[in-house]
Structure formats: C-alpha cells, structure tokens
Amino acid sequence: MGNGIFITFEGIEGSGKTTQIQLLNDYLRGKKIQAVLTREPGGTRIGDQVRQILLNQENKDMTSGCELFLYSASRSQHIKQVIEPSLKKGELVLCDRFCDATLAYQGYGRGVPFEMIDHLNQLATGGLKPALTFLFDLTPEEGLRRSKARLKKEGKEKREGRFEKEELAFHEKVRMGYQEIAKKEPERVVVIDASKNSGQVHREVVDRIEKKWNLKKYGTNW
C-alpha cells in the first residue's frame, strides 16, 4: 500500500498513549517530517459521531455486540477515508488505537469470541496491520486515577467516561489482553513501561523508530 508507514499507539485508559502520539508528532515536525495524526474511534466526521456514542457515560446499557459493531463501523470509515489514502500517498500515519484495542477490550475484556472480532477487523481493514505498535503498559489502578483526573479537569466525565465506570477487573482483563497480544507479536509490538515520566517514555519511542527506519525521505533533517 504505497510506501507509507503505519504506526499505532495502544494502552489502557490513562496509559499516556495520546500524550505520546502528540509528543512524537511534535518531534517529527521539528525534524521537518509531516505525519498524519489520527485516532480511533473517530478520525473522520462520521467516526467522531460514533465515538460520541461509544464513550458517552449515559450509554451504560450498550451491549458488547453493539459496542463491537460500532467500533468496526468507525474503523471501516477511517480506513477508507483517512488511513488507506494516506499510506497510498506514501505518508507516515500515527494512529491512537487500532485493531489491538478491539481485541483487548471487546475480546479479553468483554469476552466476545476472538473469531468474530478477527472476522470484523478483516472486513474493516482488508488485512491492513501496523508496521509498528507501541503498547504503553500501566497498572489499571494508576491508569484509571490518571484518566479520571483528566476527564474531571476537562469536564468530560459524562461525555467520555463510560469505560472509566467499568469495574477494575475489566481493566485488568484488558491489560492482560494487551500483554498477550505483545507476546504473540513481539516483532511488531513494543512494550514500554508507562509509569515512567513522559519525557523518558517519549525518548524510548523516538529511539525505537530511529533504529527501525531511516525516515530522511519524509523530511530534511532526520
């Protein structure tokens, strides 16, 4: 799919992945390297509307099936409208969550059959996988503390706090799921200790990318 590079950022609530993707984007811009920064659920006008449904605290009665199909629908739109065209143009795409999140949350967390998730992911993505995935690993207790504090500070508890309302056991299953994914695909998934300060974590991300690729063609000063 062109000469583009697709990198994803994964982790439980409060793991710092959104901060890290922004820090990397800022770093790349400083090197004159332009990246496409996007997220799931969302990334498109339609996907952002689906995101509002998925994260809204009022939708606590949402079934696991409904949740799975909404994520898949948003991903299908995202692939066709943003990710696939960007990669075909040879661009660098940084995505905040992707298929691994569905497997971790809906598979390991909710207990939805993995075969169903794999089938829907295949339909939505056409088999596209990231070249590299960063997994920011953190205890659910610390992650939830951070995430709830952020939502409160931003006044988003009701609009985006549905997953923060889940039992601790759910988040422990999700973390375990992410760890299992990393064990199965160690060449793709890089696990980083997210309990470190954001600067240390950022340096690890940059070091890993610099070791894997020579990105001079994306900018002038890499």
Q: What is the pLDDT of residues 105-154, one digit of tens each?
A: 999 999 999 999 999 999 999 999 999 999 999 999 998 888 788 777 77
Predicted local distance difference test score (pLDDT) of residue 154: 76
| 217/38: higher pLDDT | 38
Q: What is the pLDDT of residues 170-212, one digit of tens each?
A: 999 999 999 999 999 999 999 999 999 999 999 999 999 998 9
Q: For residue 112, give the CATH number of its domain.
A: 3.40.50.300
Domain presence at residue 110: yes
Q: For residue 95, what is the DSSP state?
A: E
* Structural domains in the chain (count): 1
Residues 6+ apart with CB under 8 A from 179: 137, 191
- Domain membership of residue 98 (yes or no) is yes
Tell me, yes or no, whether 187 lies in a domain: yes
For residue 183, tell me if it sits in a domain: yes
* Residue 222 within any structural domain of the chain: no
d(CA 168, CA 217): 45
User: Is residue 220 in a domain?
Assistant: no
Alpha helices in 89-155 (DSSP H): 99-102, 114-125, 140-154
- Flag whether 176 is in a domain: yes
For residues 90-107, average pLDDT: 97
Residue 132 lies in a domain: yes
Band of residue 157 on the pLDDT scale cut at 50, 70, 90? low
The CA–CA distances, whole Å, from 97 to 11, 12, 102, 158, 216 equal 8, 10, 9, 21, 26
The domain of 112 spans 5-213
Q: Please tell me the least confidently modeled range out of 35-49, 73-87, 106-120, 161-175.
A: 161-175
Please state, in angstroms and rounded to a whole number, the distance separating the CA atoms of residues 33 and 170: 39
How many C-beta neighbours within 10 Å does residue 71 have?
A: 26
